[in-house]
Amino acid sequence: QAFKMLLEMRRGGCKPDMITYTTLIKACVTAGQMERAKGLLVQMDEVDIEPDATTYNALIGGYAKQLKWRECKELMAEMDQRGIAPNLLSFSYTIRACVKARRIREGQRHFEQLQELGLVPNVNVYSTLMAGFASQGMLTEAQQLMSAMQMQRIRPNEYTFSSLIEAFLRAGYARSALEVHEKMAALNLDMDDVVLRTQKMRALAMEGLLGQAFEELKGIKAMQKSNKEGVKTVVYNELIAACMARDDIEAGTEAFQ
């Protein structure tokens, strides 16, 4: 219907403008029709209508959802060629696509580029890249990123801290993970989260504090029961893995049962 209306506008002598095309592009992106959305950008060139950052961001955001980081990168380059300055949202979408596609170094390069352009990353951009570092066990990079946030006086959120905790756990630093958890509590951040509590359980088990780890498991079970959810297998798997890492077959068997 939207495309039909565009055709009627043309037939009626009403020339579509940049807002018209951007709105259509957003509609295509929402419907997951990225080829059609990109085709509209081509049409804009054909009828001499200049797109702006909002137009490009709609496309970049759509490709980011599909983890098509190369397409995001190409659109960013095209913006530069047209003299359209990418903004924080452009970089945010592209970095997210890179991280989700496990192209962490590519995401890091875009993060550095946005800073070179004088843009200031917000907590969401920092947290996205932090999650990428954590997923690859890049502890040094995760710690450096947290330090950069503190220098910029950007307050980390639960997602940021959770990603840093994951980086410590993957590197085998359970005590450091527990210290970050304690810092979160001191900052009055929301700790009633399955991911955070599972991370704490893992850290406790890795430290040999199995009694406390099983108590944390009980808390997770109670929390999910109140939400009418069952405890996910991954929670038990994490506890079993932590027990076995310490060669504690008895505790691992108990978690399995």
User: What pLDDT, on the 0 to 100 scale, is given for residue 206?
Assistant: 85
CA angle 167, 172, 173 (to 5 degrees): 75
Structure tokens at 231: 């405890």
Q: Which residues contact 33 (CB under 8 A, 6 or more apart)?
A: none
- Give mean pLDDT in consecutive 10-residue pieces for the chain, a chain of 257 residues: 60 73 91 92 90 96 96 96 95 97 96 95 95 92 93 91 92 92 88 86 87 87 68 75 77 76
3-state helix, strand, coil in the chain (%, to 5): 75, 0, 25
The whole-number pLDDT of residue 38 equals 94
Question: What are the CA-CA distances from residue 237 to residues 190, 217, 232, 243 (Å)?
Answer: 24, 12, 9, 10
pLDDT number for residue 138: 93
**3-state secondary structure (DSSP) of residue 5:** helix
C-alpha distance from residue 13 to each of 6, 25, 45, 111, 206 (Å): 11, 21, 19, 45, 71
0.85 cut: is pTM over it?
A: no
Residue pointed to by tokens 């994490």: 238
Question: What is residue 122's DSSP assignment?
Answer: -
Q: With beta carbons less than 8 A apart as the criterion, state whether 165 and 181 touch.
A: yes
pLDDT value at position 240?
80
Question: Could you give the CA distance from residue 165 to residue 134 in angstroms, rounded to a whole number?
Answer: 8
